[in-house]
Amino acid sequence: MGSVRVLRAVNGSSLVWNTKLRSSTVCARAFSAKMSPPSKAVVYEQHGSPDQVVRMVDFPPVEIREKDVCVKMLAAPINPSDINRIEGVYPVKPPVPAVGGYEGVGEVQSVGSAVTGLTPGDWVIPSPPSFGTWQTYIVKEENVWHKINKNVPIEYAATVTVNPLTALRMLEDFVDLNSGDAVVQNGATSIVGQCIIQLAQIRGLHSINVIRDRTEAEEVRENLKKLGADEVYTESQLEVKNVKGFLGDLPEPVLGFNCVGGNSASLVLKFLRQSGTMVTYGGMSKKPIAVSTSSFIFKDLALRGFWLQKWMSLDKAKDCRIMIDYLLGLMREEKLKYEMELVSFDDFPLALEKALGKQRSHPKQVLKF
Amino acid sequence: MGSVRVLRAVNGSSLVWNTKLRSSTVCARAFSAKMSPPSKAVVYEQHGSPDQVVRMVDFPPVEIREKDVCVKMLAAPINPSDINRIEGVYPVKPPVPAVGGYEGVGEVQSVGSAVTGLTPGDWVIPSPPSFGTWQTYIVKEENVWHKINKNVPIEYAATVTVNPLTALRMLEDFVDLNSGDAVVQNGATSIVGQCIIQLAQIRGLHSINVIRDRTEAEEVRENLKKLGADEVYTESQLEVKNVKGFLGDLPEPVLGFNCVGGNSASLVLKFLRQSGTMVTYGGMSKKPIAVSTSSFIFKDLALRGFWLQKWMSLDKAKDCRIMIDYLLGLMREEKLKYEMELVSFDDFPLALEKALGKQRSHPKQVLKF
């Protein structure tokens, strides 16, 4: 973050000039030091609406110290959680100024003299993520980089850490699921939702999926069924007294996932069987979850929450890297797939606009550097 | 239930005459059999508002078979759950007609020839409860009766099975509590609420208590503090952005209890610490519980429910009887107490009216036979 902090002292247009000045100073001080190329980054200096507070900034070359690895970024997605971080809606706000982005994949450009595990040309992802990934070059110590197999498309490597891992953990951390059990979820078209469908199927689980009403609902239903969804219903289809009739031959789901809130969360609760569990991991409708007293007392439902952040600590890094390799393996075998759109980093404003989804929904936006 | 079932075939005023007729028949068939005294019972023949569907009925003597015990009831409370059973709001409605009441205490009047563990004069409670207790004499097999020590007041023996046991289990079944931990609850003036305060104190736990706004709030606060409450607040006192300021030196509570719903449940949630659990066991406000997405994701709260019914199965009878004896021991030592009002069984309509609390709140109504 060293080179970002200089932003704190400068204003708008003078930034590039100032940082360039600092760059010269650094070069003069350490003439023989190995330096990174200059970098371009998407930066926010204050929290707020992303389309208002982010801008593209030029960073000067930085020194590559003996334990450092200089990585040329290949791809990084724009996730909803990236938007939330910029908005500052998380309980712990990241300090500003900061580079946007959280996950991504890059290629090792050069390494410091004490680096033993990585060589130029390797593909790496930040694991656990701890810095902005929306920049062309990143210099960080070797231990934050996880070397991965190069046999997956960059957009999958760039997106494996957040959404697929969320889906994987949520299927593991709450209920002991047995082959033949069913799960129910709303927001089924999200990347997490699509991963849940596929990971559930791999484990022999059935999935009942709720999507919001839309004109292309039939097409969405077909696509999700191709991924392995057993049933797909729109919210309005489920506006009946007893949703259980929609289960067909499937067992009542023991576990549900909610990333919407409001009425859509209530639909998940209605599907759950006695003593079932609903896990909330998002709130796209921005509406609270309303639960009847009888759901708790007589139906014995349990409501929990999931935040990937607790898996992003250093002490869990080893476990996470094993899971990431597992997920990348599934991606390589095309058992785990989802729609994405690669967009040139230079077109960041356009990708951001699509990611914000103000007009209509778009595939996951992945920046290509 | 044999003698109650005859009600199914009869209408209103002809009931007593019909059951008397049946009584004569029984006597003629088994002239030498040991018979119970005639019994008076509060019966409902259909579900509905208790003050409209219950009425006092005379039952004829019934035969005391060799494994039977005839119990003269001493006392039985009117619990909110009794009201709910009559209203038929539970997911599994008890078959009607039925005698009201669920718990109580009685004295053994006479026993069948094969009864070895009980003798006339013993005090017994139905455990687990499985039949109506609002009647003067009950004949049931020995194994449904749990003999208790006679050194507690009848109103405590009559009420130990439902509310104190609920409080005891809720402190055990959800979170591992350590001495010094805090719990928070709403509906703190209920019998369960008062038991939680006292059982928490016995375990070295602190309690934060929320009561509804009322003119005598100060008096209620003093009474609950005498029972061992650390803090007592009215709902309107807690209408602030951050309730944590009301904790004083107490730790943030790890476990909360909700028997109200609506805004009062939200106050319990606000008090809970990170990763805390709220257990819902009632919904006096008849309002749902609304939970924000961030409560689940960032605060990692868990919401659960408790229904005593799962402890009322035959396979848990032994455990329950041990717990009941433990609670009766605390009552004997006056470490567990709550306000009750003994009312003659003949004044049942008055007691019911008070229990329904339509005008104002009254102490727990306990019928004295």
Q: Which residue has the tokens 């059999």?
A: B33
Question: Would you place residue B94 in the very low, low, confident or very high pLDDT band (cuts 50, 70, 90)?
Answer: confident
Question: Treating both helix axes as pointing N-terminal to C-terminal, what angle do A80-87 and A348-356 enclose, rounded to 10 degrees?
Answer: 100
Count of CA atoms in the C-beta half-sphere (13 A) of B151: 9
A-to-B residue pairs, Cβ atoms closer than 8 angstroms: 98
pLDDT at B8 over 50: no
Cis peptide preceding B97, ω within 30 of 0: yes
pLDDT at B364 over 80: yes
- Are B302 and A300 within 8 A, CB to CB? no
- Are B289 and A288 within 8 A, CB to CB? no
Residue A64: per-residue pLDDT: 97
pLDDT at A11 over 50: no
- Are A288 and B283 within 8 A, CB to CB? no
Question: What is the SS3 assignment for chain B?
Answer: CHHHHHHHHCCHHHHHHHHHHHHHHHHHHCCCCCECCCEEEEEECCCCCHHHHEEEEEECCCECCCCEEEEEEEEEECCHHHHHHHHCCCCCCCCCCEECCCCCEEEEEEECCCCCCCCCCCEEEECCCCCCCCECEEEEEHHHEEEECCCCCHHHHHHCCCHHHHHHHHCCCCCCCCCCCEEEECCCCCHHHHHHHHHHHHCCCEEEEEECCCCCHHHHHHHHHHHCCCEEEECHHHCCCCHHHHHCCCCCCCEEEECCEHHHHHHHHHHCCCCCEEEECCCCCCECEEECHHHHHCCCCEEEECCHHHHCCHHHHHHHHHHHHHHHHHHHCCCCCCCEEEEEHHHHHHHHHHHHCCCCCCCEEEEEC
pLDDT tens, position by position, B230-264 = 999 999 999 998 999 999 999 999 999 999 999 99
3-state SS, residue A3: helix
Measure B15 CA to nearest chain A CA, in Å: 35
- Radius of gyration of chain B from Cα atoms? 22
Contact residues for A309 (Cβ-Cβ < 8 A; gap 6+): none
Domains of chain A (ranges, CATH numbers): 2-157+341-354+361-368 (3.90.180.10), 174-305 (3.40.50.720)
CB atoms within 10 A of CB A72: 17
Residue B91: per-residue pLDDT: 80
Asked if residue A279 lies in contact with residue A174, where contact means CB atoms within 8 angstroms, the answer is yes
Mean pLDDT of A26-46: 81
- Are B296 and A282 within 8 A, CB to CB? no
Give the integer Cα–Cα distance in Å for B60 and B40. Answer: 9
For residue A303, the chain B residues in CB contact (below 8 A) are 291, 296, 302-304
Measure A294 CA to nearest chain B CA, in Å: 8
3-state SS, residue A187: coil
Give the integer Cα–Cα distance in Å for B164 and B337. Answer: 10
pLDDT at B132 over 70: yes
Asked if residue A286 lies in contact with residue A260, where contact means CB atoms within 8 angstroms, the answer is no
pLDDT at B352 over 90: yes
- Are B291 and A294 within 8 A, CB to CB? no
Helix (H) / strand (E) containing A58: strand A54-59
pLDDT tens, position by position, A330-353 = 999 999 999 999 999 999 999 999
Residue A359: per-residue pLDDT: 63
Asked if residue A123 lies in contact with residue A150, where contact means CB atoms within 8 angstroms, the answer is yes
Q: What angle do CA B74, B77, B79 make, to 5 degrees?
A: 160
The two three-digit tokens of residue A66, written as one number: 């003996």
Residues 232-261 of A with CB under 8 A from B: 261
Q: Best interface-test mutation with B: which of A297, A304, A306, A308 has the largest number of B CBs within 10 A?
A: A297
The more confident residue out of B184 and A91 is: B184
pLDDT at B11 over 80: no
Question: Would you place residue A248 in the very low, low, confident or very high pLDDT band (cuts 50, 70, 90)?
Answer: very high
Mean pLDDT of chain A: 91
Question: Would you place residue B28 in the very low, low, confident or very high pLDDT band (cuts 50, 70, 90)?
Answer: very low
Measure B208 CA to nearest chain A CA, in Å: 22
- Are B302 and A307 within 8 A, CB to CB? no
Residue A24: per-residue pLDDT: 43
Q: Is B13 on the interface with A (CB under 8 A)?
A: no
Query: Can you say whether the dihedral through the CA atoms of B300, A274, A259, A173 is positive or negative?
Result: positive
Asked if residue A281 lies in contact with residue A263, where contact means CB atoms within 8 angstroms, the answer is no
Asked if residue A247 lies in contact with residue A209, where contact means CB atoms within 8 angstroms, the answer is no
Q: Is A87 on the interface with B (CB under 8 A)?
A: no
Asked if residue B214 lies in contact with residue B220, where contact means CB atoms within 8 angstroms, the answer is yes
Say what the ipTM of the complex is: 0.88
Residue A32: per-residue pLDDT: 65
Q: Is A290 on the interface with B (CB under 8 A)?
A: yes
A130: DSSP letter: -
Give the integer Cα–Cα distance in Å for B53 and B48. Answer: 6
Mean pLDDT of A262-271: 98
The two three-digit tokens of residue A309, written as one number: 């952040």
Give the integer Cα–Cα distance in Å for B303 and B235. Answer: 21
Asked if residue B81 lies in contact with residue B283, where contact means CB atoms within 8 angstroms, the answer is no
Contact residues for B145 (Cβ-Cβ < 8 A; gap 6+): B69, B71, B108, B118, B124, B125, B126, B127
pLDDT at A7 over 50: no
Residue B6: per-residue pLDDT: 37
Residue of chain B with shortest Cα separation from A276: B304
Among candidates A292, A302, A306 on the partner chain, residue whose Cβ is nearest the Cβ of B304: A302
Question: Would you place residue A90 in the very low, low, confident or very high pLDDT band (cuts 50, 70, 90)?
Answer: confident
Question: Would you place residue B19 in the very low, low, confident or very high pLDDT band (cuts 50, 70, 90)?
Answer: very low
For residue B302, the chain A residues in CB contact (below 8 A) are 302-305
pLDDT at A128 over 50: yes
**Comparing A238-242, B27-31, B128-132, which segment has the lowest mean pLDDT?**
B27-31
A9: DSSP letter: G
For residue A84, the chain B residues in CB contact (below 8 A) are none
The two three-digit tokens of residue A177, written as one number: 């699921």
pLDDT at B340 over 80: yes
Residue of chain B with shortest Cα separation from A285: B293
Catalytic residue among A44, A90, A102, A326: A90
- Are A305 and B303 within 8 A, CB to CB? no
Beta-strand ranges (E) seen in A150-234 are: 182-185, 206-211, 231-234
A93: DSSP letter: P
Measure A91 CA to nearest chain B CA, in Å: 7
